[in-house]
Amino acid sequence: MSTRAPHQMPERPVAHPIRLHHALTRIWMTGPGLARLSAVNHSILGLRFMITSAVFFAIGGLLSMIIRAQLSTPHSAFIGPEIYNQVFTMHGTIMMFLFAIPMLEGLAIYMLPKMLGARDLAFPRMTAYGFWCYLLGGSILIIALVMGVAPDSGWFMYTPLSSNVYSPGINADVWLLGVTFVEISAVTMAVELTVSILKLRAPGMTLARMPIFGWYILVTALMMVVGFPPLILASILLEVERAFGLPFFDPVRGGDPLLWQHLFWLFGHPEVYIIFLPAAGVLSTLIPTFAQRPLIGYRAVVVALVAMAFLSFGIWVHHMFTVGIPHLALAFFSAGSALVAVPTAVQIFAWLGTLAHGRPRWDVPMLYVFGFFFVFVAGGLTGVMLAMVPFNWQAHDSHFVVAHLHYVLVGGFVFPLLAGLYYWLPRVTGRQSVYRLSVPAFWLIFIGFNMTFWLMHLTGLRGMPRRVYTYLEGDGWTALNLLSSIGGFILTMGFALVAMDIILQVRFGRRFRRDPWRAGTLEWAQPAPAAAYGFASIPEVTERADRLDVREIGRQLAAGQGYLGFARNGWQETLGINAASGRPDQVVVLSRSTYLPLFTALATCSVVLALLFKVYWAAPIGLAVTVALMLYTAQISGLKEDHGTLPIGHGLALPPHTEVEGSPPWWALVTTLLANGTLFLSLVFGVFYLWLVAANWPPPNVYEPHLILLGLAALALLLAPLGARLALWAARRGRITAPWIAMTMAVAAAGIVVLVLMVMQVPDPTAHAYAATTAAVLSYAVFHLAVGLLFLLSNLMRLRAGFISPRRVLDLRLSRLWLDYTAVTGIIVLAVVVVMPLLTPISGVQP
């Protein structure tokens, strides 16, 4: 909690703005040349994410032109079926995994600290690691495309098409490993954004005062935390099946291909809203600016987007209406799919009401807002049509679905993204566009898009299936496909003009100082382009943060009149607040530039490549290097001294984040465990799904664990968190802590040995899905105990290095939290192992 600064620590005088600028720049700047590879600053990394995703977007657009060229006429020989399968698979994969999600991540990384009144995100090194994982994972996919071994089973990789039987090469492995590598980036960014929004806001900025864009990104990040683990699990299980023969999806050996679809769409349907919500946040930010009045229904919009997030996770079967779902379930998911239109409508009417009750200014961003309304509403209406089961059965897997998907994603993401581009590009470059190409570019995009995809509704209704590389002349699709292809090339011309317009703005645009749009959010209080440190001092927010006089606030902050208006100890400092009340409660000392994120990502990439090329002996070496680099990173993080309270300005003093309870690392681990828990529940769901639904059950052999091993495993799982508590108790009282940590490490190691023995006693896991799932859940427990052992090893190393004291016990608290989670999930694992042999005799869809 905050206190008044003590007399022996007088408040620092406000520095002259120029001297303050130079002092902060020396601390926050990233060096030139190769030193740019060590960047951890959110502005640099946000731009890198956005530029890299734009490059991938261009590649995906080129692939779409190839698709349209192939389909423009019947019996086209432009490309063959094998290449076509790779092209359409990579088009979808790039647009979904390498463009849409990373672009929104980059926008959030760049904008959020500026909008929330912070100097950076909570974990700069993790942001850098996430970027390098994204770049390397995406590069693996693109190189595979160039080499002719790209994935060719569709961007959704349905089994059994993606199994070894029908995809014997490495094409499917490229997708499974490359996309999982990219998903590491996505999950780390989701954790980063969640914690930063909750903890790193300006003092006084309660959740009710937070700019609406912050709400959209918070909900989106939490959706990513919960939504991505099922896909990561599915990818791991399918890769294990392909590499080692464990039959999770093989119906001959007790698996089920539909398990992949359930796990994929548990991710895939929320992903549509993960893509849409940040774009809607852009609209909710810029529409009030151009309407010249605050957003109508702020609280209703917040409730609507939260409701949309919850509904999106309950209707994944919307994509599986034709696979044989019971009628009662069809009715439930159909109603849920239609119900999601309600929170969407709430947001649309809020935007329309804001425009209707304001004094709208017509500018280029508003052109794309108009395009959004037209395209997205049309896509939403066709979505309601597809939510109706009888129509869905007729249109499923046709070009009608392709058209609907593009109307929702392009209308709901690309048009708002382009509006945000023209709105915030002056914020990035310090220059305003001359708008000589932006207007014709919009009309080319708008006309080309509708010409391309509106006609696909008609080809779909005429029976043209998706994912076909050619068709017959007598099918009646020739004219529509030709016009659709012409529209695709017009659309491409529009995007090319946008790219040219951006280059011209960066090079020749008019310079400005602050707030060219007369906006009311904090990002415009900074000069443009922004300094490396963001804010020279941290503002205090006393009203909703989209109604601020940013020009006056900007002058005050530049003069050092806010909090932390000084440089101290060479630290990169920002303020942490209470997540709910907005009261400042800690000084967060951030990590500085380092090459470690790059090296760690390269080591992680070596593991992926070793698995991809079946060089399995090299994978443990790469994993060991990755773990060693992470441990080393932990050893150079934090503070080695107790500091008590530190002055922050205005007579207040706060402790550093290493000496408080609710610090960002603690919140990060809680968020990570939420993602981990989702993966675990998905795994348990898979076990019981196969028991209930899969053919060829019961299995020929079941595993009945030895009671002694079962008891020893349970004892180790329960004693490990107890040992962590004893170590924490000793550290807080200044007593000897190392023996307790060592004892807990020994217990965890013993638990690993016992669980490994149990895995070895499971019947041949390649023979039946029962044995494979039993080995999988036990391996989950082994893995988490092993990670807990690494936590404890890091604790021991940091204790000896002086990072742990009675006031600084964050490391031990994190270990206790991880081992608590491991104990809970481990006991559930043991219960599943015990219960499954009792259930298998009554399972089953018999062959």
pLDDT confidence bin for 17, thresholds 50/70/90: confident
pLDDT tens, 425-456?
Answer: 999 988 887 767 899 999 999 999 999 999 99
Residues 778, 758 contacting (CB under 8 angstroms): yes
Of the chain, the percentage scoring pLDDT greater than 90 comes to 81
Whether the per-residue pLDDT at 511 is higher than 50: the answer is yes
- Rg, C-alpha atoms of the chain: 28
The CATH number corresponding to 40-511 among 1.20.210.10, 3.40.50.880, 1.10.540.10, 1.10.3720.10 equals: 1.20.210.10
Whether the per-residue pLDDT at 790 is higher than 60: the answer is yes
Is the peptide bond preceding residue 698 cis, with omega within 30 degrees of 0? yes
Q: Which residue has the tokens 């709400």?
A: 215
Question: What does the domain layout of the chain look like in residue ranges?
Answer: 40-511, 676-842
The token duo for 254 is: 């007790």
Residues 419, 498 contacting (CB under 8 angstroms): no
pLDDT tens, 744-763?
Answer: 999 999 999 999 999 999 99
Q: Round the average pLDDT of the chain to a whole number and report it.
A: 93
Q: What share of the chain is helix, strand, coil (3-state, %, to 5)?
A: 70, 5, 30
Whether the per-residue pLDDT at 10 is higher than 60: the answer is no
Residues 645, 5 contacting (CB under 8 angstroms): yes
Q: Does domain 676-842 have CATH number 3.40.50.300?
A: no
Pairing of strands 572-577, 646-649: unpaired
Average pLDDT over residues 367-376: 95
Element (H, E) at 235: helix 212-244
The token duo for 749 is: 């190691």
What is the CB-side half-sphere exposure of residue 63 using CA atoms within 13 A? 23
Distance CA 86, CA 95 (A): 14
Average pLDDT over residues 277-292: 95
pLDDT tens, 229-270?
Answer: 999 999 999 999 999 999 999 999 999 999 999 999 999 999
pLDDT confidence bin for 843, thresholds 50/70/90: low
Q: Which residues of 756-787 are buried (b: 16+ CB within 10 A; e: fewer)?
A: eebbeebbebebbbbbbbbbbbbbbbbebbbb
Looking at residue 840, its pLDDT comes to: 78
What is the CB-side half-sphere exposure of residue 772 using CA atoms within 13 A? 25
Element (H, E) at 556: helix 550-558
Classify 576 as helix, strand or coil: strand
Looking at residue 701, its pLDDT comes to: 87
Looking at residue 375, its pLDDT comes to: 95
pTM of the model: 0.95
pLDDT tens, 540-559?
Answer: 999 998 888 888 999 999 98
Average pLDDT over residues 674-681: 97
Average pLDDT over residues 375-401: 93
Distance CA 452, CA 812 (A): 58
pLDDT confidence bin for 696, thresholds 50/70/90: confident
Q: Could you give the angle at the alpha carbon of 515 between the alpha carbons of 510 and 518, nearest 5°?
A: 115
Element (H, E) at 431: strand 431-432
